[in-house]
A and B are shown apart, each in its own frame.
Chain A
Amino acid sequence: MTALAMVRIVEREAEVFRRLWRAFVFSNVVSPVLFLGAMGLGLGGLIDARSRGIGGGLSYVEFIAPGLMAANAMQSGAGMSLWPILGGMKWIRYFHGMVATPVRARDVYWGELAWSGLRTAVTSSVFLVVATLFGGIHSPWAVLAVPAAMLCALAFSAPLMAFSATQETDLGFPLVFRLGVMPLFLFSGTFFPVSQLPSAVRPLAAVSPLWHGVELCRAAATGSFRFGPIVAHVAVLSALVAAGAWWGTRTFERRLSP
């Protein structure tokens, strides 16, 4: 039942996406590509001329391509879980229409989560192609960075969708970005290795979901896997998805079927 209902919700979101994909391409593909160009090629040219690469002999564009891919997944996962969810609950209210059918509140949650993962897979794939053209990707293992980015997006979407379902207004959402997404974006090994962080705050990187996502994407993009860390990163992100889903099925139920 849940699987089928999920597909129907994804169908609805895909239908809307089909109409609005141009705006989506701009925010989710063009802007990360601009970042990749400016930082990877511009700043990277400067860095590569002065050092012999970072993080094990990688050129700067090779270093940040998987980092940006994971960061982009985080932003898309978070963005899709805040305003659009409150929109479905409160502004457009179409979630209420859904739960008047055999679809249940928890199906709405799972469907929206599936859609978030699916859309991230699409953007990450496009990003991967562009990053390869920019010279940021050389290993064929890099295709595994797509599911890694997807898992990273879900680790943000699952708890944030649950949170959005408890909100009456969107006043808290910019804070999520300013105090959550933005610092993570800057300090999770995206633009420089976390070993550059002061030793006092370095352990904090381990609690950043993005850092785990970046590490997974980078391992895939460079084709250098170490079993232990991979398992740990996947476990942390999966635990976030599981906890978020546990919470989300409850908050959606409470909001849509009070």
Chain B
Amino acid sequence: MPLVEGRGLVKRFGPAVAVDGIDFAVRPGECFGFLGPNGAGKSSTMRMIACVSPISGGSLRVLGLDPRSDGPAIRAQLGVVPQEDNLDTELSVWDNLMIYGRYFGLSKSVIRSRATELLDFVQLTDRRDSRVDPLSGGMKRRLTIARALINQPSLLLLDEPTTGLDPQARHQLWDRLYRLKRDGVTIVLTTHYMDEAEQLCDRLVIMDGGRIVAEGSPRALIEAYSTREVVELRFDDEGLHSSAASCLATFDGRVEGLADRFLVYSSHGEETLAKLTADGLEPSSALVRRATLEDVFLILTGRTLED
């Protein structure tokens, strides 16, 4: 039985439709992702799963229960890392965990022993008595993760977990999430970073404009929608760029023209690049790389994730 199952799920805010009839299922033990640009409806979906936003249509089951009638019972088994930090800045690091555990009705002795372990897990033991405000963005995120685990949740929800973090903090956070995954925690996350989705997700759906446009494992999605490799061509000169556009128009295969570069899709990148230069194309720089989920999104929607 799936831990979370949405069918024709809809979220409306007045006349605006944020989530427009999506179907998905999260299996126990997997890391499931919602990938898409800002405004795709990922966070709205997440908030419905977290039972803090009533559904507007369709159906949703979380942990076998109905969010409309069993919200508190479901939330008792969820760990939530929201997009926007909501740590209690009037409390210390330690008290954030103690007080949060109380919201779940846990006894103080249980919370104390879990909080000690969790601070160790997120590497914040030495900041135990610190206030929250002076912590770095990465530390705050890790504290939020510790807080989300205080009730030993069956399902961990992370909304844009690494947005706004520097690369080192991101990797540190990913490392903690790998460990949770290895320990069998089911994770649902949203992200607009394709590398994050590739790193963490066993399966994911790509969302755009409130709808799901593709679904599968990162590898399967790339195989289904993209070629194995991509040749990136840059032309520093405006004239060269536009003449390259007409030259590439005759290329036998998919070409995506972006503002600053062309992406040429090919199963054998080096050969394609050699052929294109032999045909007289003179890019300022050229790069052959593996296709990513970013390419899948571009091919499916004609836009990049950062748009």
Contacts and interface: CB of A to CB of B under 8 A. Distances in A.
A11 B54 contact: no
Contacts of B80: 100
Contact of A97 (B72, B88, B102): B88
B71 interface: yes
A92 B76 contact: no
Given A15-B99, A256-B52, A93 B91 contact: no
A100 B74 CA distance: 10
Contacts of A1: 72
Among B50, B86, B103, chain A packs the most CB atoms within 10 A around the CB of B103
Contacts of A258: 13, 53
Given A257-B52, A258-B53, A97 B95 contact: no
What class of interface size applies to chain B in its complex with A? Answer: 20 to 34
A234 interface: no
B100 interface: yes
Contact of A257 (B54, B84, B87, B151): B54
A43 to B, nearest CB: 39
A15 B73 contact: no
B36 to A, nearest CB: 20
Nearest to A7: B102
Interface string B95-113: 1000110111100000000
Contact of A12 (B54, B72, B99, B147): B99
Contact of B103 (A16, A93, A102): A102
A96 interface: yes
Nearest to A8: B102
B75 A12 contact: no
A38 interface: no
B52 A12 contact: no
A90 to B, nearest CB: 10
Interface of B: 13, 50, 52-54, 71-73, 75-76, 78, 80, 82, 84-91, 95, 99-100, 102-105, 147, 151
20 contacts: A5-B103, A11-B99, A15-B99, A16-B90, A92-B86, A92-B88, A94-B88, A94-B90, A96-B84, A96-B86, A97-B100, A98-B103, A100-B75, A100-B78, A100-B82, A101-B76, A102-B103, A256-B52, A257-B52, A258-B13
Interface of A: 1, 4-5, 8, 11-12, 15-16, 19, 92-94, 96-104, 256-258
